[in-house]
Amino acid sequence: MRRLTVWLGTVVLCWALQGLAQEATPWGAGYFPNTALTDQDGQEVHFFDDLIKDKVVVINFIFTGCGDSCPLETARLRQVQQLLGDRVGRDVFFYSISIDPLSDTPEVLKAYAARFKVGPGWRFLTGDKDQIDELRRRLGLFIEGVDNGRSRDHNLSLIVGNQATGRWMKASPFENPWILADQLANSLQNWKTPSSEQSYALAPEIRPPSSGEELFRTRCAACHSLGPEDGQGTGMRSVGPDLLGVTQRRERAWLSRWIREPDRMLAEREAVAVALYEQYNRVAMPNLRLNHQDADNLIEFLEQESRRQGAQEQARAGQAGGTAAQ
Ligand code: HEC
């Protein structure tokens, strides 16, 4: 009986969803403003007509002077972009809109995109501040008191959707990039196109993580790899240095402070911080507001993982040596 109810419920839900998909969405030209924006190449566009109408899109709001959440979001989206390959710009569109348009001119945005090595099909946009704030309100990404307060500590603001079907969802930049890519390539497209080449089904299986590992995946992995065979196996986290063996390269106190306040160390022009900053394309590592305990957990995880991979490497070398000797 219970099964039948569930089954019936599913059928009714499917009908309802189909009905919705066929009906025009209430979130059309009457809802979204047609805000005039300029992209990083100086091209002028209108938000509704040119950017979202009949498209599957990812939209986030950033400012290039932001030292915490935006670089993480940009790095994460860059991974999603890489997973989607040439579908970006064809049937999935990426837009990063500046909330600080006075500073973020098209030239500044172009340089920012280049620093993060973003691929084609991803537009960085600027425009009139009041109109952009209104757009954020319409997208449900503006929190009164936080976003118009003094601090520019803005809401982590990423939204993905399909304008034609009216399906919109907020997403977290801490999300696994494979999940975001899967939403964009498949569920938001109503599964009409075959899955992107690197589908979520290929995502490596994930063991239950320790707290340090969890922090690493959600806060660090968008920018850092950890050896050739780390977690998500995407091999494309080159914003910052690979962190395998970093606990041997650096003093523990240095590491702990760096993880908690890299921005301050750079501001104090600490020698290693400055050298790394220059070496890594002048992308500053963000201050992710972690505490001592978080830093300890992260360092422990980095150490463990370096040991684990080191042991594997040795075993492989031993085997290879054995074969050669035969
Ligand atoms: C937005 C990208 C980004 C994120 C997110 C990020 N980092 Fe970094 N990290 C960098 C960059 C870039 C550098 C190189 C220094 C610089 O440019 O500031 C760096 C440098 C480092 C270094 C120094 C490496 C060395 O060779 O000495 C460590 C350690 C480090 N990061 C740890 C972390 C940890 C732990 C996290 C997560 C809590 C994290 N990073 C999150 C971008 C990032």
Print pLDDT tens along the chain (326 aa).
556 555 555 544 544 444 444 446 778 888 899 999 999 999 999 999 999 999 999 999 999 988 777 888 898 899 889 888 889 999 899 999 999 999 999 999 999 999 988 888 899 999 999 999 999 988 888 766 555 544 444 556 789 999 988 888 888 777 778 888 888 888 787 766 554 455 555 554 545 567 888 888 888 988 888 887 654 444 456 788 999 999 999 999 999 999 999 999 999 999 999 999 999 888 899 999 999 999 999 999 999 988 888 887 788 788 776 554 44
Confidence (pTM): 0.69
Q: Is 298 in the pocket of ligand 1 (CB under 6 A)?
A: yes
**36-52 burial string, b = 16+ CB within 10 Å, else e?**
ebbbbeeeebebbebbb
Q: Is 258 in the pocket of ligand 1 (CB under 6 A)?
A: yes
Please tell me the distance between residue 270's alpha carbon and the centre of ligand 1 in angstroms. 15
* CATH number 1.10.760.10 given to 211-325: yes
Q: Is 244 in the pocket of ligand 1 (CB under 6 A)?
A: no
Locate tokens 């390269």: which residue?
249
Please tell me the distance between residue 243's alpha carbon and the centre of ligand 1 in angstroms. 8
The atom of ligand 1 lying closest to the CA of 282 is 17
Task: Indicate the domain borders of the chain.
Answer: 27-200, 211-325
Task: Name the residue of 77, 220, 265 to mutate for ligand 1: max ligand atoms within 8 A of Cβ.
Answer: 220
Q: Is 285 in the pocket of ligand 1 (CB under 6 A)?
A: yes
- Around Cβ 279, how many Cβ atoms within 10 Å? 10
The atom of ligand 1 lying closest to the CA of 262 is 18
Whose Cα sits closest to atom 12 in ligand 1? 240
CA–CA distance, 177 with 291 (Å, rounded to integer): 25
* Tokens describing residue 79: 């991974």
Whose Cα sits closest to atom 24 in ligand 1? 241
Q: How far is CA 227 from CA 232, 234, 245, 312, 313, in A?
A: 11, 12, 9, 12, 11
pLDDT score, position 149:
46
CA–CA distance, 266 with 248 (Å, rounded to integer): 21
pLDDT score, position 227:
82
Q: Is 219 in the pocket of ligand 1 (CB under 6 A)?
A: yes
Residue 10's contacts (CB-CB under 8 Å, 6 or more residues apart) are none
pLDDT score, position 119:
84
Please tell me the distance between residue 52's alpha carbon and the centre of ligand 1 in angstroms. 34
CATH node for 27-200: 3.40.30.10
Q: Is 299 in the pocket of ligand 1 (CB under 6 A)?
A: no
Q: Is 205 left (phi over 0), alpha (psi -120 to 50) or beta?
A: beta
